[in-house]
Amino acid sequence: MKKKTNRIIFSSYFLIVICLFSCVNTNVSSSQTFTKSLKSHFENKFFIGAAINESTILGKDDKSYQIVNNQFNSITPENSLKWMYIQPKPNQFDFNTADQYVQMGLDNGMYIIGHALVWHAQLAEFMQETKNKNEFRSHVENHINRLVKRYKGKIDAWDVVNEAFEEDGKLRNSIFYKNMGENYIEEVFKLAEKLDPEADLIYNDYNLYKPKKRNAVIEMVKQFKANGTKISGVGVQAHWGLNYPTIDEIEQIIYDFHIAGVSVSFTELDISVLPNPWELVGAEVNQNFSKFEGDPKMNPYPDNLPNEVALKLANRYYDIFRLFVKHSDKIERVTFWGVTDKYSWLNDWPIKGRINYPLLYDRSYKSKEAYRKVLQVKTN
Ligand code: G3I
């Protein structure tokens, strides 16, 4: 928590410097620079972050870059640090985008997230082909070694393991589980701690409002605490809808992890406004709903979001942030999964080619009613 406060003080100082500079720089949009920002509004409550895509990192999307710098004090790479991009072939690393990502965070005094060291999705092909278990383990160790060492003291928090549990609370039968055995999560957390003892180490997953899955993660946290394995926090992905989970369910997540002795971060917040008739919840990327592609019933707002739905979204965000502020002593960070609706992954999941509106900025990079409602949440 001390670290959070220090970083926020530094960010505020940085914001003041930027504002002073902007006063004499007529090219900077005044509406973006001088309006109240999310990061100033939630200062000393929790970090407020956004996942950023490659275009933003590489400076090809200046409008998103400006929003991120003006509004957020934490960043997560939406894809750029994932295994398939960073180590596509054995021991061939491509750090170009990742280095620029980290530099962007350092330049702007942000709390920088590394996402993700161990995840069964977006893995390099050679890992699927590695049949020898010792070889598999040494690839994993090498990957973690190279990344954590390279960004030691720069990346503030690592999503060490992502999505290792099934809905019923069993360990996912992933490629890591199959090759490294049931202690692999502990093993990689220990390795990450050895390489950068100062970094925050996070376990990240979706659907943690469901008790069976949450309890499994809590058991893991307790086991880590009992045997001295460092775990700093749990990342609750927060890919939610207008009606689920309930505020009570979200509150229970916060209480339960707090009691288990770890901080909570809401790491991938977005609210889908589109129909979800299969009661599909969460973020399991392997589900296939291609038969619904092009079905207008599943894509009801292709041109714009009707006012009443925009208002529902705004009120939903308002309620969620009111809860976050109420429990800000237990919450380390809230990160939106994206910057504008234009590039949200939810336009293509679970059905490709839909038009979704899950974030605080619209397709023209303008702030939405939801943004204004979030800023109306009282912080004292
Ligand atoms: O790399 C190709 C690129 O070469 C090609 O031109 C482009 C054309 O579509 O596709 C690119 O790959 C896409 C990749 O994102 C990078 O943009 C994949 O098709 C697409 O499936 C992939 O989606 C990402 C998804 O993870 C994959 O699982 C989303 O952007 C990203 O938001 C999403 O993030 C995950 C978190 O990491 C973990 N939690 C769930 C969350 C949502 O699934």
Mind listing the pLDDT tens digit for each residue in 297-355?
Answer: 999 999 999 999 999 999 999 999 999 999 999 999 999 999 999 999 999 999 999 99
User: Does 1 map to a domain?
Assistant: no
Give, for ligand 1, the residue of 123, 240, 285 to mutate: max count of ligand atoms closer than 8 Å to Cβ.
285
Q: Is 79 in the pocket of ligand 1 (CB under 6 A)?
A: yes
CA-nearest residue for atom 26, ligand 1, is: 79
User: Does 16 map to a domain?
Assistant: yes
Query: What angle (nearest 5°) sits at the alpha carbon of residue 262, between those of residues 258 and 264?
Result: 75
**What is the helix (H) or strand (E) element at residue 240, kind and residue range?**
strand 239-241
Amino acid of residue 270: D
Whichever domain contains 282, its CATH number is 3.20.20.80
Q: How far is CA 294 from CA 182, 289, 346, 353, 354, in A?
A: 42, 11, 15, 8, 8
CA-nearest residue for atom 30, ligand 1, is: 345
Q: Is 84 in the pocket of ligand 1 (CB under 6 A)?
A: no
104 is written with which tokens?
A: 């962007």
Q: Is 16 in the pocket of ligand 1 (CB under 6 A)?
A: no
Parallel, antiparallel or unpaired: strands 239-241 and 263-272: parallel
User: Does 380 map to a domain?
Assistant: no
User: Does 35 map to a domain?
Assistant: yes
User: Does 212 map to a domain?
Assistant: yes
The reply to whether the predicted model has a pTM over 0.75 is: yes
User: Does 276 map to a domain?
Assistant: yes
Question: Can 219 be counted among the known catalytic residues?
Answer: no
Overall domain count for the chain: 1
Rounded to the nearest angstrom, the distance between the alpha carbon of 79 and the centre of ligand 1 is 6
Alpha carbon 184 to its chain centroid, in Å, reads 23
Residues in the chain: 380
Rounded to the nearest angstrom, the distance between the alpha carbon of 343 and the centre of ligand 1 is 11
User: Does 293 map to a domain?
Assistant: yes
Question: Can 141 be counted among the known catalytic residues?
Answer: no
Rounded to the nearest angstrom, the distance between the alpha carbon of 122 and the centre of ligand 1 is 8
CA-nearest residue for atom 13, ligand 1, is: 79
Per-residue buried b or exposed e for 72-98, using 16+ beta carbons within 10 Å of the residue's own CB:
bbbbbbbbbbbbebbbeeeeeeebebb
**231 within 8 A of 200, measured Cβ to Cβ:** no
**Which atom of ligand 1 lies closest to the CA of 54?**
17
Per residue of the chain (380 residues), give pLDDT as tens: 334 454 554 555 554 444 444 333 333 333 344 468 999 999 999 999 999 999 999 999 999 999 999 999 999 999 999 999 999 999 999 999 999 999 999 999 999 999 999 999 999 999 999 999 999 999 999 999 999 999 999 999 999 999 999 999 999 999 999 999 999 999 999 999 999 999 999 999 999 999 999 999 999 999 999 999 999 999 999 999 999 999 999 999 999 999 999 999 999 999 999 998 566 556 676 777 888 899 999 999 999 999 999 999 999 999 999 999 999 999 999 999 999 999 999 999 999 999 999 999 999 999 999 999 999 999 98
The residue segments making up the domain with residue 44 are 6-375
User: Does 242 map to a domain?
Assistant: yes
Catalytic residue among 43, 187, 193, 268: 268
